[in-house]
Structure 1
Amino acid sequence: MAISVDYLNKKVKECFLDLGSFPEDKKIPLDVLINMWVESHGIDEEDAFAILVELSDKNLLTLVKDARSGDAYSSYHEIYVTQHDVLRDLALHLSNHPDVNERKRLLMPIRDTELPRDWGRNTDRPFNAQIVSVHTGEMREMDWYPMEFPKAEVLILNFASNEYFLPPFMDDMPKLRALIIINYNTTEATLLNFSVFTNLTNLRSLWLEKVLVPELSNTTAPLRNLRKLSTVLCKVNNSFNPSVLDLPMIFPRLTELVIDHCDDLVKLPVSICKVNSLQSLSITNCHRLSELPAGFGLLKELQILRLYACLELKVLPPSIGELIGLKYLGISQCVNLRSLPREIGRLASLEIIDMRECPQIVNLPSPVMLLNLKSLRRVICDDEVSEDWKNVKRGMRHLHVQVAEKWYSLDWLHD
Structure 2
Amino acid sequence: MARALYGAPENPDFIVGLDQLLNQLKFDLLNGTKPFLNLIGFGGSGKTTLAKNLCWDPQVLDKFKENIFFATFSKTPHMKIIVEKLFEHFGQPKPEFQGNEDPVYKMRNLLEQKAGESPVILVLDDVYRGSEDLVKKFNIPISNLKILATSRAKLNLESCITHRLEKLPHEDSMTLFRHYAELNDTCPQNDLANQIVKCCGGLPLILKIIGSRLHGEEAFESWQIMERGLSQHGGSIVDSDDEVLATLRKSFDVLDDKPMLKKCFMDLGLFPEDQMIPVSALFDIWTELHNLPEECYAVPYIDDLTLRNLSTLVVTRKVASEKDDYYYNNHFLKQHDILRDLAIHLSNEKPLEQRENLIIDINENNHPELWSEPKKQGISARLVSISSGEAFNSKWWSMKPDGAEVLVLNIGSNDYALPDFIKYMRELKVLVLINYSFHPSQIHSFELLGSLPNLKRIRLQRVSVPSLCKLKKLQKLSLYMCTIGPAFESCPMDISDALQGLVELNIDYCKDLVKLPADICKIGPLKKLSITNCHKFSELPKEIGNLENLEVLRLSSCSDLKQVPDSIKRLQKLGLVDISYCTSLKQLPEDFGDVCNLKTLYMKGCSRCELPDSVKNLQHLKVVICDEETAASWETFRPQLPNLTIKQPNAEINLNWLERL
Deviations 1:156-201 (A, max 9, x none): 1001111011111101101000000000111011112222112122
Alignment of 1:142-291 (within 5 A): 143-216=395-468, 220=469, 222-241=470-489, 245-291=493-539
Secondary structure of the residue that 1:34 maps to in structure 2?
helix
Deviation, 1:35, is 0.6
Q: Which moved more, 1:226-235 or 1:245-254?
A: 245-254
Question: What is the match of residue 300 of structure 2?
Answer: 50
CA contact (8 A) 1:324 1:347 kept: yes
Q: Which moved more, 1:269-278 or 1:401-410?
A: 401-410
Secondary structure of the residue that 1:295 maps to in structure 2?
helix
Taking a change above 3 Å as real, the CA distance of residues 47 and 122 of structure 1, as seen in their structure-2 partners, is farther
Secondary structure of the residue that 2:624 maps to in structure 1?
strand
Alignment of 1:57-136 (within 5 A): 57-65=307-315, 66-69=317-320, 70-108=322-360, 112-114=363-365, 116-121=367-372, 123-125=374-376, 126-136=378-388
| Large movers: runs of 4+ above 4 Å | 242-245
Question: What is the match of residue 638 of structure 2?
Answer: 393
Question: What is the match of residue 267 of structure 2?
Answer: 18
Q: Distance in 1 between matches of 2:396 and 2:526?
A: 36
TM-score normalized by structure 1?
A: 0.93
Taking a change above 3 Å as real, the CA distance of residues 74 and 104 of structure 1, as seen in their structure-2 partners, is closer
CA contact (8 A) 2:590 2:612 kept: yes
Taking a change above 3 Å as real, the CA distance of residues 286 and 382 of structure 1, as seen in their structure-2 partners, is same
Q: Distance in 2 between matches of 1:8 and 1:168?
A: 40
Deviation, 1:54, is 1.7
CA contact (8 A) 1:328 1:351 kept: yes
Q: Distance in 2 between matches of 1:270 and 1:63?
A: 37
Letter of the 1:380 partner, please give it. Answer: I
Question: What is the match of residue 338 of structure 1?
Answer: 586
Letter of the 2:463 partner, please give it. Answer: V
Give the number of aligned pairs: 406
CA contact (8 A) 1:115 1:136 kept: no
Deviation, 1:118, is 2.8
CA contact (8 A) 1:245 1:271 kept: no
Secondary structure of the residue that 2:625 maps to in structure 1?
strand
Deviation, 1:287, is 1.2
Q: CA-atom RMSD, angstroms?
A: 1.9
Q: Which moved more, 1:333-342 or 1:99-108?
A: 99-108
Is there any run of 5+ residues in structure 1 with no aligned partner, and where? none
Deviations 1:307-337 (A, max 9, x none): 0111211010000111111111001111101
Question: What is the match of residue 95 of structure 2?
Answer: none
The reply on whether 1:371 has 2:616 as its aligned counterpart is yes
Q: Distance in 1 between matches of 2:535 and 2:490?
A: 19
Q: Distance in 2 between matches of 1:407 and 1:152?
A: 39
User: Of residues 270, 277, 297 in structure 2, which corresponds to 1:28?
Assistant: 277
Deviation, 1:338, is 0.9
Deviation, 1:247, is 2.1
Taking a change above 3 Å as real, the CA distance of residues 17 and 99 of structure 1, as seen in their structure-2 partners, is same
Is there any run of 5+ residues in structure 2 with no aligned partner, and where? 1-247
TM-score normalized by structure 2?
A: 0.59
The reply on whether 1:2 has 2:252 as its aligned counterpart is no
Taking a change above 3 Å as real, the CA distance of residues 191 and 4 of structure 1, as seen in their structure-2 partners, is same
Letter of the 1:178 partner, please give it. Answer: V
Q: Distance in 1 between matches of 2:438 and 2:619?
A: 47
Letter of the 2:442 partner, please give it. Answer: T
CA contact (8 A) 2:515 2:538 kept: yes
Secondary structure of the residue that 1:197 maps to in structure 2?
helix
Taking a change above 3 Å as real, the CA distance of residues 79 and 406 of structure 1, as seen in their structure-2 partners, is closer
Q: Which moved more, 1:58-67 or 1:33-42?
A: 58-67
Higher Rg of the two aligned structures = 2
Letter of the 2:417 partner, please give it. Answer: F
Q: Distance in 1 between matches of 2:652 and 2:405?
A: 39
Deviation, 1:113, is 2.5
Deviation, 1:406, is 5.1
Deviation, 1:4, is 4.5
Q: Distance in 2 between matches of 1:72 and 1:335?
A: 21
Deviation, 1:297, is 0.6
Deviation, 1:243, is 8.6
Taking a change above 3 Å as real, the CA distance of residues 311 and 46 of structure 1, as seen in their structure-2 partners, is closer
Q: Distance in 2 between matches of 1:20 and 1:34?
A: 15
Deviations 1:280-326 (A, max 9, x none): 11101111111111111111111110001112110100001111111
The structure with the largest helix share of the pair is 2
Taking a change above 3 Å as real, the CA distance of residues 128 and 411 of structure 1, as seen in their structure-2 partners, is same
Q: Distance in 2 between matches of 1:3 and 1:169?
A: 38
Question: What is the match of residue 563 of structure 2?
Answer: 315
Q: Distance in 2 between matches of 1:272 and 1:306?
A: 15
Taking a change above 3 Å as real, the CA distance of residues 121 and 111 of structure 1, as seen in their structure-2 partners, is closer
Deviations 1:119-150 (A, max 9, x none): 22563232211111011124434x21111112
Percent of pairs with identical residues:
37
Deviation, 1:5, is 2.5
Q: Distance in 1 between matches of 2:328 and 2:374?
A: 37
Q: Distance in 2 between matches of 1:47 and 1:215?
A: 33
Deviation, 1:115, is 5.2
